[in-house]
């Protein structure tokens, strides 16, 4: 997945007019008009990369000591695989070989100790936590509801989508990270 993200960014960077890069799920639905989203993204100096410390089994339990000395456990982060990055962060992502290699080798399913690490949930959050923590918003431009505590976020069905739900989602002004730690 990270390989595909890097190839997409590399290809999009070839056009000098591209200044912001967004990767979304095919199930993402816009909650604002295009002009609003465009102006919002272009008007900020931040990239929107979800990045947080998760002390539980789906977070830092996935860390491998083999990432040392470049990636310490205290730097290891989790976040959404969906992102919105400024041009300079897209360039940083494709230029990186040091951290990328660590994640390619040591963040994958079936690792030692029964760990299943997924690079698309950890590589970019960790990279930008280490390289430019003040350059990211620390949340994503997508809304995801992890409150059910399952492997995947809540799926909204047609009957769930009401005016009230959409109004509630669009009024959210802070990111709440649900960790896999039972505490």
Q: At how many degrees (to 10) do helices 119-131 and 87-95 cross?
A: 110
- Minimal CA–CA distance to 179: which of 50, 54, 51, 49? 54
Whether a cis peptide bond, with omega within 30° of 0, leads into 69 is: yes
- Classify residue 16 as left (phi > 0), alpha (psi -120 to 50) or beta: alpha
Contact 125, 93 (CB under 8 A): no
pTM of the full predicted structure? Answer: 0.86
| Number of alpha carbons in the 13 Å side-chain half-sphere of residue 164 | 2
pLDDT at 179 over 70: no
- The model's pLDDT over 77-107, given as tens digits with 9 standing for 90+, comes to 998 888 999 999 999 999 999 999 999 999 9
Mean pLDDT of 55-77: 91
Q: How far apart are CA 183 and CA 171, in angstroms?
A: 28
Q: What is the Cα gyration radius of the chain?
A: 17
- Minimal CA–CA distance to 90: which of 142, 24, 1, 12? 12
Stronger pLDDT, 94 or 57, i.e. the higher one = 94
- The model's pLDDT over 16-39, given as tens digits with 9 standing for 90+, comes to 999 999 998 877 778 889 999 999
Enumerate helices (H) and strands (E) in the chain, giving the number of each: 6, 2
Q: What would the DSSP string read from start to end of 105-136?
A: HHSSTTBGGGB---HHHHHHHHHHHHH-GGGB
pLDDT at 182 over 60: no
Contact 170, 32 (CB under 8 A): yes
């Amino acid at each position: 997945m990270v390989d595909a993200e890097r190839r997409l960014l590399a290809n999009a960077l070839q056009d000098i007019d591209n200044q912001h890069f967004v990767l979304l799920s095919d199930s993402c639905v816009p909650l604002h008009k295009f002009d609003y989203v465009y102006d919002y993204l272009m008007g900020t100096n931040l990239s929107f990369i979800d990045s947080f410390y998760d002390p539980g089994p789906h977070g830092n339990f996935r860390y491998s000591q083999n990432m040392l000395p470049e990636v310490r456990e205290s730097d290891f982060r989790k976040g959404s695989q969906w992102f919105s990055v400024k041009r300079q962060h897209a360039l940083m992502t494709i230029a990186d070989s040091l951290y990328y290699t660590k994640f390619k080798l040591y963040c994958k399913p079936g690792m030692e100790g029964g760990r299943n690490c997924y690079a698309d949930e950890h590589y970019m959050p960790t990279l930008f936590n280490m390289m430019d923590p003040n350059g990211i918003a620390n949340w994503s431009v997508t809304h995801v509801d992890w409150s059910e505590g399952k492997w995947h976020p809540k799926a909204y069905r047609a009957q769930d989508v009401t005016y009230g739900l959409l109004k509630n989602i669009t009024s959210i002004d802070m990111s709440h990270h649900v960790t896999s730690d039972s505490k």
